[in-house]
Amino acid sequence: MRIAILTFDGFNELDSFIAAGILNRMRAKGWEARIAAPTFEVTSMNGVTIQRQEPLEFAVEADAVLIGSGIRTREVAADPVLLSRIKLDPTRQLIGAQCSGTLLLARLGLIGSLPACTDLTTKPWVVEAGVEVLDAPFVAHGNVATAGGCLASQYLAAWTIARLASVRDAEEAIHYVAPVGEKAAYVERAMAVVTPFVERSLAA
């Protein structure tokens, strides 16, 4: 499985790195989560500059695509040339977005009239784009999921693993990264959030 984590200038480190860290717990099973960006280097909202692992176009061939948030997402959403480089297909890919990444999904026409999750700062912009925003950390409609809040990246990662591998694999990945002494509670909470959406997709 190849996962693209779309990362733009001004990105939130928690979104991109937590998701990548959890998803790459599946490396032994042939998974690889890669940071994909429009430029060779991108700088985070806190001044951390990284080199991309893949160009933005890697998204078109990935099995799953996660879009993180950042302080410049509105600029990205208003750039038709940049948006045209993001080719996504929910009929064959899992697609997830976090916080202001939800705005990009809306601009790409991948949310439509479905309710979505985002962070409190981005909420007015997503509502302005015509999307109903839920007071919830995570929701999925078929192959498209959205999450709200920096630490909700664990839900996107767990959902992706549960969908493309198994619920047990997702539990093990969350268990590994959870704090010592709180692992069972973290696993229970994370899976309580995402498992209903995994079960719905399997039933469909």
pLDDT digits (tens, 9 = 90+) for 66-84: 999 999 999 999 999 999 9
For residue 131, how many other CB atoms are within 10 A of its CB?
23
Mean pLDDT in residue range 92-105: 95
CATH topology of domain 2-203: Rossmann fold (3.40.50)
pLDDT at 159: 98
Full-model pTM: 0.94
Region 131-151: mean pLDDT is 95
CA torsion angle 51 57 61 62 (round to 10): 40
Amino acid at 203: A
Could you tell me the residue ranges of all domains in the chain? 2-203
Strands 144-147 and 94-98: parallel
Alpha helix ranges (H) inside the chain? 13-23, 73-77, 80-84, 101-107, 123-128, 153-164, 167-177, 183-203
What would the pLDDT profile of 109-130 be if each residue is shown by its tens digit?
999 889 999 999 999 989 988 8
In this prediction, residue 202 carries a pLDDT of 53
